[in-house]
Structure 1
Amino acid sequence: MLDSATTQVIEPVPPQPPARRPRGRLWLLISGLLTLLLAASALVAIEPLRDPLPAPTVTRTLPASMVIPGRAPKVPWPKSGQAALSVEGLGSLGTSGGNEPVPIASVAKVMTAYVILTEHPLGRGEHGPKLTVSAAQAAAYPAELARGESLVAVAAGAVFTERQALQAVLLPSANNMARILAAWDAGSIEAFVAKMNDTAAELGMTNTHYTDPSGLDPGSVSTAVDQVILARKAMKLPAFAEIVAQKKATLPVAGTVKNYNSLVGRDGVVGIKTGSTDEAGGCLVFASVVKVGGRRITVVGAVLGQPGANTPVQLDRVFRATRPLVRTAAAAITVHPVVRAGDQVATVQGPLDTGTTIHAAEDLTVVGWPGMQVRLDMDIPVVPTLLPAEAAHGQVSAVSGETAPVSAPLRTGVRLEPPSTWDRIRAHR
């Protein structure tokens, strides 16, 4: 039996608790990796947003020029002599008969009047300075009359205003008054003729030469083209345009005189000057006014060298050759649309396939005739990335001949807006 005093009690040893896993450290590691991944993704997403959007580009679809459609006018040119026809501000309707200098008879007086009025300008209705007929000038009248010249009666000491003297030159085509005016202006006929030729050179009348202020001398020669150049300049002088449009005038000594140009007042004709000699035949420089689209347009032409046995026949033939030209020009000049409202004139390409169009907001019209070349220009401001639909944006203009441009506004098509953030991110992938 064992002794109780010596009995040894052995206490049970509890088991060791299991080791704790490092959950906190693992979570921190995972969280860090996720943060890095998200940051990298954010950088990838933000990267394309850092770059500025490219500006929209505009591509023109409208041609730089066009020809007015239709059949070009057929001008009924005279069968003989020379002719030229021009529309002020628009250009030439053509010429016929070549460009060789020929005698021009009293058409030379257009230059005489032009030189006088450029050196002694007159306003509308003004009479200007006075000139007195000398005894020698009056004494020459009987001999001039015997030669069959075109004249106005004068007397020694008779006083004419500048306007009256010009009326005598331009209406009944007075040779003697052309010489009187020349001497009054330049001191001598020779000095005045030099002024006439200098002026012709300044105006670019390369095939023109004057030998006298009246045109009686067949040495005064020109062409239809050159005379149209001069007539266009002369008709810009108010006093000249007033005088040549008159059918008659009252002068000292001579009384009432009539305009030799019987076309004045018919078919819109407002001048300018007749001429006739055996060497020159029947000649006429003319101007007419056509009303088109609310505008007054001047047609200027010249017909030279129409045959005939005497002045009445020559003038009748030149008038008959001129009337069809005037009427043809009047019928040819009309209003033509060159761009219609709604016509596309340009496309706009924005970033990432965004875009719109630009079109005419209203009709753009010009005055002219079929076959005429028209220049088309556009002024389109820089296009922003955001542009509403049907927004006014620029203008289109057209130029026909030498006229000032006419314009019409432009508008956008569909709304132009920048691509969304998501579209930019997707496009970068």
Structure 2
Amino acid sequence: MPESATTHVTTATPPPPVRRRTASVWLLVTGLLVVLLAGAALVAIEPLHRPLPAPAVTRTLPASTVVPGAAPALPWPQAGQAALSVDGLGPLGTSGGNRPVPVASVAKVMTAYVILTAHPLDRGEQGPTLTVSAAQAAAYPRERARGESLVPVVAGAVFTERQALQAVLLPSANNMARILAAWDAGSVDAFVAKMNDTAAALGMTDTHYTDPAGLDPGTVSTAVDQVILARKAMELPAFAEIVAQKEATLPVAGTVRNYNSLVGRDGVVGIKTGSTDEAGGCLVFAAVATVAGRKVTVVGAVLGQPGADTPVQLDRVFRATRPLIRTAVAAIAEHPVVKAGEPVATVRGPLGAGTTLHAAQDVRVLGWPGMPVRLDVDVPPVPQRLPAGTETGRISAVAGEGAPVTVAIESGVRLEPPSTWDRIRRHR
């Protein structure tokens, strides 16, 4: 080849490098993915930072019910008034209206109550003494001529407070009621004012006293009011002790007997008889029985039983009273008002979890069919996790005026908080 000939060599230009650009793109995409995933993760776990709401409790047990069964049909007397009540439970019923009527020697219950509240006695205690004045002794023949119920007295005779109350409450001595009144208040009139003040304080709105013995027909009351008084009087130990006696030994008079011949029969433990032409035969009574292992006291009053004289009047009031006591006692029993396992409330947790609360055992109350019963439910805040059968609160049942009966509440199926996945899934 000639020297002048020139050889041209063409060199290809390499393409620009792409590795660094591709890496940058991948870094960008990866960064975006990381950001997106982090955001998604934050969105997903954000509900986990919120506190779970407390489980909601909804009561399903009614606020009240009644003792099941038909209400007792009481054999009320055909004439006069009557009322019955059960201590610790409340009124059982009334008959004959509520018009104030003469109550005869039943008034002496108030006389004894006023004396014992002013001069309290313990069981068996004799208390202070009182002396019969010459004037009080001189009145005895005139009182006897009027046919009053009395105990013999003489001037200077000394009675203890208990003996004087025995004379008033057992043989129903009018003269000793007046002697006690003057001893306590200075005069009979002042004592009668105390009787009426006490009646008003006790809520005996249809009662008015004009004498401490009940001989005056102006002394009037109702069966309902006398039951109020009888229940209060029986709370006084000395009163309850005296009216349960069949007899007592007194100065001058010797042994005296209780006019209330029902004492010791049908559970009767007192309280007081009364009889006049205006009042008829009257009786305020208390009877004790044991029901379901518990002592119950039935207190009642029967007024205005007809009769020509005291023996007939009292016989009729006793005959009217005994069926009332027996029927009342037979009607009282222990009754279930909420059954074991009966639902009391529902519990609803977050995200639909739930359980029920139920009575752990029967809720049983003492009472009679038809008696109203109040039902209360106390459930503390329920935790997120509650094993089955956990005690959770109490049911309280109150029959009439009775004391509350409480029973535990238990949970049903286990309550669990929602899982993490459920919380995330349900909030997407």
Q: Same fold (TM over 0.5)?
A: yes
Amino acid of the residue matched to residue 391 of structure 2?
A
Letter in 2 for 1:214: A
* Counterpart secondary structure, 1:140: helix
Name 2:245's counterpart in structure 1.
246
Q: Which residue of 1 aligns with 2:72?
A: 73
Paired residues for 1:213-228 under 5 Å: 213-228=212-227
CA deviation string 1:338-364 (max 9, x = no partner): 111111100001111011111111111
In the alignment, which residue of structure 1 is the partner of 2:94? Answer: 95
User: What's 2:16 paired with?
Assistant: 19
* Cα offset, 1:11, TM superposition: 8.0
Distance in 2 separating the partners of 1:140 and 1:19? 147
**What do residues 280-304 of structure 1 show as CA deviations (whole Å, max 9, x unaligned)?**
1110000111212222111111011
Q: Does 1:353 align with 2:352?
A: yes
Number of equivalent positions: 426
Mapped partners of 2:44, 2:255: distance in 1: 96
Q: Deviations over 1:124-158 (max 9, x none)?
A: 11111001111221122122122211111112111
Aligned residue for 1:204? 203
Equivalent residue number for residue 125 of structure 1: 124
Q: Corresponding residue for 1:282?
A: 281
TM-superposition CA deviations, 1:181-232 (whole Å, max 9, x none): 0111111111111111111111111111111111111111111111111111
Q: Could you tell me how far 1:63 is from its partner in structure 2?
A: 0.3
Aligned to 1:266: 265
Superposed, which structure 2 residues align to 1:163-182 within 5 Å?
A: 163-182=162-181
Indicate the SS of the match to 1:54. coil
- SS of 1:176's equivalent in the other structure is helix
Q: Distance in 2 between matches of 1:77 and 1:404?
A: 28
By how many angstroms is 1:14 displaced? 5.1
Work out the CA distance in 2 between the residues paired with 1:406 and 1:194: 42
Unmatched segments (≥5 aa) in structure 1: none
CA displacement 1:231-271 (0-9 Å, x = unmatched): 11111111101100111111111111111101011111110
Aligned mates of 1:114, 1:331 — CA distance in 2: 30
**2:366 counterpart residue number:** 367
Secondary structure of 1:316's aligned partner: helix
Give me the whole-angstrom Cα distance separating, in 2, the residues matched to 1:33 and 1:148. Answer: 119
Residue 304 of structure 1 aligns with which residue? 303
CA RMSD, aligned part only?
Answer: 1.4
Show the counterpart of 2:338.
339
Contact kept, 8 Å, 2:389 with 2:412, in 1: the verdict is yes
Deviation at 1:335, TM superposition (A): 0.4
1:392 aligned residue: 391
Counterpart check, 1:34 vs 2:38 = no
| CA distance in 2: counterparts of 1:179 and 1:274, whole angstroms | 18
Structure 2 partner of 1:144: 143
The code of the aligned residue for 1:97 comes to: G
Query: Separation in 2 of the partners of 1:44 and 1:213?
Result: 89
> d(CA) in 1 for partners of 2:37 and 2:192?
97
The aligned amino acid for 1:357 is: T
Q: CA deviation at 1:19?
A: 3.3
Distance 1:334 1:274 in 2: 29
* Percentage of identical aligned residues: 76
Aligned equivalent of 2:420:
421
Q: CA deviation at 1:272?
A: 0.2
Give the TM-score taking structure 2 as reference length: 0.97
8 Å Cα contact 2:68/2:337 also seen in 1? no
Question: What one-letter code is carried by the residue in structure 2 that aligns with 1:333?
Answer: I
1:26 shift after superposition: 2.0
Looking at structure 2, the residues matched to 190 and 264 of structure 1 have their Cα atoms a distance apart, in angstroms, of 32
1:399-414 aligned within 5 A? 399-414=398-413
- Partner in structure 2 of residue 193 of structure 1: 192
| C-alpha contact (below 8 Å) 2:103/2:274 kept by paired residues | yes
Q: How does 1:55-66 map to 2 (within 5 A)?
A: 55-66=54-65
Supply the AA of the counterpart residue of 2:226.
Q
Structure-1-length-normalised TM-score: 0.96
- Opposite residue 174 of structure 1, the aligned amino acid is A
The structural deviation recorded for 1:309 is 1.0
1:140 partner letter: A
Moved more, 311-320 or 419-428: 419-428
For residues 188 and 24 of structure 1, the distance between their equivalents in structure 2, rounded to whole angstroms, comes to: 121
Given residue 289 of structure 2, which amino acid in structure 1 is its aligned partner? V
Structure 1 CA distance for aligned equivalents of residues 117 and 63 of structure 2: 40
